[in-house]
Amino acid sequence: MSTPQDSGIVRYRLEVSYKGAAYAGWQIQPNADTIEAQLLKAAAGIGIRDAKIIGAGRTDAGVHAQAQGALLTGISTIPGDRLAYAMNTRLPDDIRINRSAAASTDFHPRYSALGKIYTYQVWLGEQASPFYAEYAWRFHCDPDMKLMREAADILTGSHDFNAYKSSGSSVKTTVRRIDDIFIEREGPLLTLRFQGNGFLYNMVRILTGTIVQAGTGKIPIEQVRRSLVSRSRGDAGITAPPQGLCLTRVLYPEDPEWDSQKHSEIL
């Protein structure tokens, strides 16, 4: 495994966690605070020059992450395994680098990824919970678990998910593979976990809205089936709000050096 040192430019592989409530998403934007902006500010604060960062995905405003993959490049002499500690001294409390290492020359946070796992939480309690206000969608109905799982089974597999993307998404193909949709309920907390090889813009939030609405009978199961054939956004459900969504993990090929480090805790 090689790491380029030419001209002092070094490559760092990062795993980042953050609460998205206070930020306008991952990507730098004018007149708004973002995760990327905070990471670059921290990098400059510890003496890294000409820093650039690429994330495995561009989470939206209000969306959280437990293990966002990223690549940081810049002119630096800080060892890879010490970068996390150094940057965490400069980051706000709602952003943390879980671990860091020197990145191989062929590592790319997006193109090297085999897939992603997202978790979405829905609060079904009769009363709102102050503890889940920023981490779950407050839903006022009581969806049927059997109907939700039936809808999830239909959506699992390789399909054209054109009906499950928001406008503004520019991709070559809308075919994606969902390997698993796991649904469980513990008291008022409903959790949906999606694992797939890739997701379109707002796809997980639309999948969640569709599955939950199917659970209430608002969307018939046959309409869920039809959405994959019609490819029409109108046949899918609502877009669930951002605060319930968390990028849980980015899946990468085995890397003994990286995998030997302790993984972040996964909810």
For 27-78, how does the pLDDT look when each residue is reduced to its tens digit (9 = 90+)? 999 999 999 999 999 999 999 999 999 999 999 999 999 999 999 999 999 9
Q: Name the residue type at position 93.
A: D
Segment (H or E) for 247: strand 245-251
The band of 255, judged by pLDDT with boundaries at 50, 70 and 90, is confident
Question: 36: Cβ–Cβ under 8 A, 6 or more apart, which residues?
Answer: 26, 27, 28, 53, 55
Level-2 CATH architecture, domain 6-112? 2-Layer Sandwich (3.30)
Report, as an integer, the average pLDDT of 230-236.
Answer: 96
Identify the bridge partners of residue 13 per DSSP, sorted by sequence position: 71, 101
Helix residue ranges per DSSP H, 144-249: 145-155, 203-216, 221-230
| Cα dihedral value 203, 26, 118, 238, nearest 10 | -30
Position 264 pLDDT exceeds 90: no
Q: Is 142 a catalytic residue?
A: no
- From the centroid of its chain, how far is CA 105? 24
Q: How many CB atoms lie within 10 A of CB 24?
A: 17
Average pLDDT, the chain: 93
Structure tokens at 233: 């956004």
Pair 143, 210: CB distance under 8 Å: no
Level-2 CATH architecture, domain 115-247? 2-Layer Sandwich (3.30)
Position 6 pLDDT exceeds 70: no
Position 219 pLDDT exceeds 70: yes
- From the centroid of its chain, how far is CA 219? 26
pLDDT in tens, 149-161: 999 999 999 999 9
Q: Is 123 helix (H, G, I), strand (E, B) or coil?
A: strand
Position 170 pLDDT exceeds 90: no
Of the listed 33, 60, 153, 179, which one is catalytic?
A: 60
Find, among 191, 204, 186, 189, the residue nearest to 247 by Cα: 204
The band of 7, judged by pLDDT with boundaries at 50, 70 and 90, is low
pLDDT of 262 reads 62
Q: Please count the CA atoms within 13 angstroms of the CA of 22 that sit on its side-chain side.
A: 9
Largest CA distance in the chain: 61
Is 6-112's fold the same as 115-247's? Answer: yes
pLDDT of 249 reads 96
pLDDT of 261 reads 72
pLDDT of 70 reads 98
pLDDT of 266 reads 40
Question: 133: Cβ–Cβ under 8 A, 6 or more apart, which residues?
Answer: 243
The domains of the chain are located at 6-112, 115-247
Position 229 pLDDT exceeds 80: yes
pLDDT in tens, 81-116: 999 999 999 999 999 999 999 999 999 999 999 999
Report, as an integer, the average pLDDT of 213-237.
Answer: 97
The band of 254, judged by pLDDT with boundaries at 50, 70 and 90, is confident
